[in-house]
């Protein structure tokens, strides 16, 4: 059974490749591995920020068929703000409004009506209101499996409590409740849900105890991200943070680090410098740049920047899932200092594979200690690399996902001890 070649449709509100943010890295990593043993088709929306032909070319390298749909609502700036205002008086969340369009529905209907898939893999839940269990006449329906990158309504609820402006907090307070209803509805309807961490799995099962779940952790391309003998060496003074800088948890974490933690590090290490790597930084972040604080913007290759870093920091206070930045930094053999939340879902042993600190003084002290002890930083980095090799390769994650697909295909009638959903009863009648 596990050797059967599957026909899998991936559906997402963003293209998987080229991977430039964490969500894309997860999709790209799993899909490229699965494509070695299965037939992949992709239907994905493309916002204006992406080059649609670049995405198409990148994804055609591993997908049998790629259908990219330009998102009519995928614009930043004023159009996004107007849509957010519209969402305040709509029963739908902003996230659902921005991907609800006739062209999306028609594209999915046409493909599902003409091609039979074994599995429809939905990324996130925002497209969950479309009818994704369809097949040509006389063919069996596919199983629907959802990749929960985060419990998104929980993130929105966190923003409501800690937003940087009154408007953002009020907006999030209204939006997260609608998002919760939509997200949980998609989880309940799915044949299976896989999550990035055991903590997110517990959160989901508290809300939807009947859900069939699996943990498929984030991982890294451990051959691409690896220490190289001919690469730059740690310089002993550079502290690096990397991640998409339009993402609220990253923005909050960087502001917290620069304002509250960095001054303590800089005082004890006058030659230290802070490098913040990531695209789309808001003006509030750029205003924090200085002689020893650099914002690089997007970089096409993280590896040389990580190679020369003395320490990688993950000072996150908001978020869910697991951080790609941690597993990629581990694969590069870097010493990492993170908050407990930042490292959630990573099976790392504090002070062996990673350092954990949740208050300002402890975080600064751990970073400063590593800047002053290159041997300790190297030991921590080697241990982190070993952990990445043993637990966080995309090949292992994809094999686990493949097994989950086969289990969902085989056990879709409630034979795993849980009552079948109405959707599963319908599928069982066809088997």
β-partners of residue 42 are 10, 66
Q: Which two tokens stand for residue 310?
A: 């003395």
Reply yes or no on domain 238-391 having CATH 3.40.50.2000.
Answer: yes
Asked if residue 21 lies in contact with residue 277, where contact means CB atoms within 8 angstroms, the answer is: no
Q: Is 333 helix (H, G, I), strand (E, B) or coil?
A: coil
Per-residue pLDDT of the chain (431 residues; tens, 9 = 90+): 445 899 999 999 999 999 999 999 999 999 999 999 999 999 999 999 999 999 999 999 999 999 999 999 999 889 888 998 899 899 999 999 999 999 999 999 999 999 999 999 999 999 999 999 999 999 999 999 999 999 999 988 988 887 667 777 888 889 999 999 999 999 999 999 999 999 999 999 999 999 999 999 999 999 999 999 998 999 999 999 999 999 989 999 999 999 999 999 999 999 999 999 999 999 999 999 999 999 999 999 999 999 999 999 999 999 876 789 999 999 999 999 999 999 998 999 999 999 999 999 999 999 999 999 999 999 999 999 999 999 999 999 999 999 999 999 997 544 444 555 555 555 455 44
HSE-CB for 16 with a 13 A CA cutoff = 29
β-partners of residue 311 are 239
- Would you list the domain boundaries of the chain? 7-219+394-430, 238-391
Q: Which two tokens stand for residue 380?
A: 């921590």
Alpha-carbon distance 136 to 131, whole Å?
A: 14
Residue of 210, 220, 178 lying closest to 326 (CA atoms): 220
Element (H, E) at 336: strand 336-338
pTM for this predicted structure = 0.89
Asked if residue 271 lies in contact with residue 337, where contact means CB atoms within 8 angstroms, the answer is: no
CA 103 distance to own-chain centroid: 26
Q: Which two tokens stand for residue 8?
A: 């899998």
Element (H, E) at 67: strand 65-70
Strand 192-195: give its sheet, edge to edge.
65-70, 39-46, 7-12, 119-123, 143-148, 192-195, 213-215
Give the CATH superfamily of 7-219+394-430: Glycogen Phosphorylase B; (3.40.50.2000)
Alpha-carbon distance 285 to 371, whole Å?
A: 24
Buried b (16+ CB within 10 A) or exposed e, 55-82: bbebbeebbeebbbbebbbbeeeeeeee
Q: Count H helices and E strands in the chain, helices first.
A: 17, 13
Alpha-carbon distance 253 to 394, whole Å?
A: 27
Domains 7-219+394-430 and 238-391 share a fold: yes
């Amino acid at each position: 059974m596990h050797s059967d070649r599957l026909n899998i449709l991936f559906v997402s509100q963003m293209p998987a490749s080229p991977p430039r943010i964490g969500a894309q890295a997860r999709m790209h990593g799993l899909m490229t591995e699965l494509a070695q043993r299965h037939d992949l088709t992709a239907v994905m929306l493309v916002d204006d920020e992406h080059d649609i032909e670049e995405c198409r070319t990148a994804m055609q390298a591993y997908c049998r068929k790629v259908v990219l749909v330009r998102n009519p609502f995928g614009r930043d700036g004023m159009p996004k703000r107007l849509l957010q205002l519209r969402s305040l008086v709509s029963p739908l969340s902003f996230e659902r409004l921005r991907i609800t369009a006739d062209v999306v529905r028609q594209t999915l209907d046409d493909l599902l009506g003409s091609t039979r898939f074994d599995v429809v893999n939905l990324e996130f839940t925002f497209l969950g209101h479309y009818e994704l269990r369809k097949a040509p006449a006389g063919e069996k329906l596919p199983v629907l499996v959802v990749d929960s990158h985060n419990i998104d309504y929980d993130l929105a609820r966190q923003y409501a409590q800690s937003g940087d402006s009154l408007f953002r907090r009020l907006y999030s307070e209204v939006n997260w409740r609608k998002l919760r209803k939509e997200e949980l509805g998609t989880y309940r309807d799915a044949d299976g849900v896989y999550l990035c961490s055991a903590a997110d799995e517990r959160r989901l099962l508290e809300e939807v105890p009947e859900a069939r779940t699996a943990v498929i952790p984030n991982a890294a391309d451990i051959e691409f991200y690896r220490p190289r003998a001919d690469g730059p060496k740690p310089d002993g003074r550079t502290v690096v943070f990397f991640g998409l800088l339009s993402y609220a948890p990253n923005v909050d974490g960087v502001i917290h680090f620069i304002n509250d933690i960095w001054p303590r590090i800089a005082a004890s290490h006058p030659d230290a410098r802070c490098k913040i790597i990531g695209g789309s930084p808001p003006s509030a972040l750029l205003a924090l740049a200085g002689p020893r604080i650099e914002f690089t913007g997007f970089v096409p290759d993280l590896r040389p920047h990580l190679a020369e870093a003395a320490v990688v920091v993950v000072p996150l206070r908001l978020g869910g899932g697991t951080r790609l930045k941690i597993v990629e930094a581990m694969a590069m053999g870097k010493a990492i200092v993170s908050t407990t939340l930042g490292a959630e879902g990573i099976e790392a042993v504090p002070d062996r594979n990673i350092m954990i600190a949740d208050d300002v003084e402890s975080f600064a002290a751990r970073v400063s200690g590593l800047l002053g002890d290159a041997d300790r930083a190297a030991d921590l980095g080697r241990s982190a690399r070993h952990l990445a090799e043993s637990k966080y390769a995309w090949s292992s994650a994809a094999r686990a996902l493949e097994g989950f697909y086969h289990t969902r295909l085989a056990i879709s009638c409630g034979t795993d001890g849980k009552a079948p959903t109405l959707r599963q009863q319908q599928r069982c009648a066809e088997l």
